[in-house]
Structure 1
Amino acid sequence: MSAEKGRRLFKKLCSHCHNISEGESHKYGPNLFGVFGKQAGSVPGYHYSEQHKNSGLQWTESNLNMYLENFKETIPGSKKKIPGVSKEEQRKDLIEFIKTTTNV
């Protein structure tokens, strides 16, 4: 796992829709700061789909890995319009970057 590779992937794949630093605003998707351990659909100030709010999913490394691989299968009705991240190593790098960047 490489947080640096994950940072580059985040910039390429995720930063158009998500901020990741504490105090930054939401974009098309919610700010991901402090995401680990939270319930899906629970970040204040962001309007989530009912599917996210009612998923019962808690953001763990394992659940985030499943979500990144296939958004619509993990939370049916997800609004994401991009394909998942098919390569496991890329998902691991993204998770490592998110984990190290947002660890509170």
Structure 2
Amino acid sequence: MRGFVFVALLAVAASGEVSAQDAAAGEKVFGVCKACHQVGETAKNNVGPQLNGLFGRKSGTIPGYNYTAANKDSGLTWDEATFREYIKDPKAKIPGTKMIYAGLKDEQRTNDLIAYLKQFDAEGKKK
């Protein structure tokens, strides 16, 4: 019986770790995003806009980036829930976006990516 309880507790503990956000792991996930986006103090717009201070920002508002009308007129403000839906399937969330990305379906990798992006304020400084 003790063995069963130990295994059950271990399973519960492990499942808690899976849902935790890990910014270091998120930096690795962001490696795919780097082809088009930048973050940090020297970040610039590239194929996609820089992503400093993403959460709390309205879609389509980074100065100097040529957004589609779909992004500018989406009415979205980036928060975790909106970002999760978007990154899973960008073209479904904002039809007409020019973002070419099949989507990130893995919830843990999404959690980690969010943790990584949340570190950067609007000026690209880590909070």
Tell me the alpha carbon deviations over residues 15-54 of structure 1, each in whole angstroms, 9 at most, x when there is no partner. Answer: 0100111342111000001111110000111000000000
Q: CA RMSD in A?
A: 1.1
Runs of 4+ in 1 over 6 A off after TM superposition: none
Question: What is the aligned length?
Answer: 102
TM-score norm. by structure 2 comes to 0.77
- What is the correspondence of 1:1-104 to structure 2 with a 5 Å cutoff? 1-11=21-31, 13-100=32-119, 102-103=120-121
The higher radius of gyration belongs to: 2
TM-score, normalization by structure 1:
0.93
**Structure 2: 5+ residue runs without aligned partners?**
1-20, 123-127
- Measured in 2, the distance between the counterparts of 1:20 and 1:50 equals 23
SS of the residue aligned with 1:73? helix
